[in-house]
Every structure is written in C-alpha cells, then in structure tokens.
Amino acid sequence: MKKITLSTYVADQGRKAANKRQADYDIAARRYTDKMAARAQKKAALREKSQLAFRQRRFFAWFVSLLARLWHKLSPRPQAPAPTTVSQEEDVWNAGEVGEQRVITALSRILPDDWTLLTGYRNPRGEIDQLLVGPPGILAIESKFINGRVSCDGDTWWRDKYDSYGNQVEKREAITDKRGRGPSAQVNAAADRLQETLSKRSPIRSVARAVVFTHDRSIIESLKNTTVDLVTTLPQLNRAAIIAAMKRSDLAGMTPAQVVELIQRDHDYHQRAREERVNPRRYQRR
C-alpha cells in the first residue's frame, strides 16, 4: 500500500497545544525568577541600610531596620511554578494521532501496492483522517481512539467506560467533536463535500465511509441506524470488511492513480483558500 500525506493537521494541533503549554510555563518561570531576584535585591538593600545605621550609631534607625528585615524575611516567598500538566485538548489531539497511526499500520499490513492511503485530507466541511483509494472504490475513514463500550443510534454516539478492573467509571458519555458531531457525522460531512466535488469532475458518484475504533479496549456494544458503511474495531479491520464496505463506491472506469490526483488537487485548492483567508496579502496580485 502506498501512503501520501496531504497534511499533518492532527499532529500539528497536538504540537501547537504542547508548545502553548511550554510557553505558558516559560512565562511563569521567568516571572518567578524576576520576583526572586527582586526579593534578593530588597534583602540586600535592607541589610546594607541596617549596617549603615549601626555604623553611624543611629540605634533607633538600626532597630527599625531590623524590624523591616524581619518583616521581609517572614513575608511570603514567590511560589515556583509547577510544570503544567497535559490539557484535555492536548490529550485528545495526541490520542487522535496515535489512533490514526494505528490505522495506517494496520492497513499497510493487509492491502497490496495497488491501494493508496491519503492522510489529512481537508475541505471546508472538515477533515478526513484517512482516504483509502483502491480498485473497488474510495473509503473515507474516521479513526477514534476511544476506550470503552461504544454504541450509536444514527449519528448519536456514546460510550460506557470501564477501568482496568472492569468497574464502570463512565455511563453514556457522548462521543463528539468540538462542534457536537458524532464520528459518523464528522466523516460524512467532509465525505459528502468530496463526493460532490468528484461527481462534478469525474464519473464517480459515491464515497464509502467508515468509523474505526483504535483503542486496545474499544468494544462495539450496539449499533442502530448507522449512517456509515462500516463500523469496526482495529482487530476486526480486514481486507474483506473493507471491500464489503466499499461496495457502493465505484471508480467508474477511472484508475486509482487518477482518483488520487483529483483528491490531491482538491485538497491543495482548499488549503490555498484557507491560507489566502489567513494571509490575503501574500496572495494579492502585484
């Protein structure tokens, strides 16, 4: 299986969150250092003032300076910042990256060289973790690193989470992204837009969709009214299941290489459009 990386969005978001966490800690550490330096300077100044008063035999001033030094010594010291822990957002991005890599590894073991996996495809409706293009058709994959027993009814997804001892610690916890979308709604939104684009530029009319749960303790509990072609855990992901899921997708006489090129061009178009919105001056005609 060939692999093409269109973007590293998930990994980039994880690194961005980690960099922000480190930057926040660095700022707090510099403030602590500055406060400790100021405290040391004040201590030295009070000591010098006290010694000068004693040498000049200004004993009342010397006594007052001793009280000032004692007050300074007993005053609260600045608190050293503790290294910040990984935020929930960063943890989600990191888990997403782990899950996506597991899917890539699994697919590379079961698919031959005439299949291509594109990672990080993005359009205005969202990102598709992996796009699999092979002789049977196209499969858009949403990978989820979710620990627990997973259920869905339509586009509503939830999990019951258990600890390593088998005790339930979460019940019917919703599985959604920041927009409140379940895994199927996420992949369907971006896949629908890709499907529209391909139907305008080629004979292709359909893109199949899959949701793959990649955590070692992911278990499919109950599925009702599913809106994707395949829901599976990583151990159950095999070539036969993939081909069966892709039965409604068809390359319509095109070669996989031609389809891959169309997808790459579409991704690049939307990538440029995003960059133009962020930095319009860079793309202004001179």
Count of alpha carbons within 13 angstroms of residue 65, beta-carbon side: 20
Instruction: Provide mean pLDDT across the span 86-94.
Output: 65
Tell whether 169 is covered by a domain. Answer: yes
Q: How far apart are CA 102 and CA 1, in angstroms?
A: 15
Q: How far apart are CA 11 and CA 5, in angstroms?
A: 12
Which of 1-5, 28-32, 92-96, 188-192 shows the highest mean pLDDT?
A: 188-192
215: helix, coil or strand?
coil
Question: Residue 194: which of 258, 239, 254, 127 has the closest Cα?
Answer: 127
Task: For the beta carbon of residue 35, count every other beta carbon within 10 angstroms.
Answer: 14
Judged by average pLDDT, the poorest of 26-40, 177-191, 229-243 is 26-40
Domain encompassing residue 279: 2-8+89-283
Beta bridge partners of 223: 152
CA 111 to chain CA centroid, nearest Å: 27
Q: How far apart are CA 13 and CA 97, in angstroms?
A: 10
| pLDDT value at 285 more than 60 | no
Confidence band of 286 (pLDDT split at 50, 70, 90): very low
Tell whether 127 is covered by a domain. Answer: yes
Same domain, 138 and 238: yes
Note the pLDDT of residue 97.
77
Same domain, 63 and 95: no
* Domain total in the chain: 2
CB neighbours of 252 closer than 8 A, spacing ≥ 6? 202, 203, 204, 205
Same domain, 94 and 189: yes
Tell whether 82 is covered by a domain. Answer: no
Q: What six digits make up the tokens of 216?
A: 């070692």
Domain boundary among 44, 74, 104: 74
Strands 116-123 and 148-153 come out as unpaired
Note the pLDDT of residue 94.
65
pTM for the model = 0.74
pLDDT tens, position by position, 102-149 = 999 999 999 999 999 999 999 999 999 999 999 999 999 999 999 999
Note the pLDDT of residue 209.
98
Beta bridge partners of 222: 151
pLDDT tens, position by position, 121-133 = 999 999 999 999 9
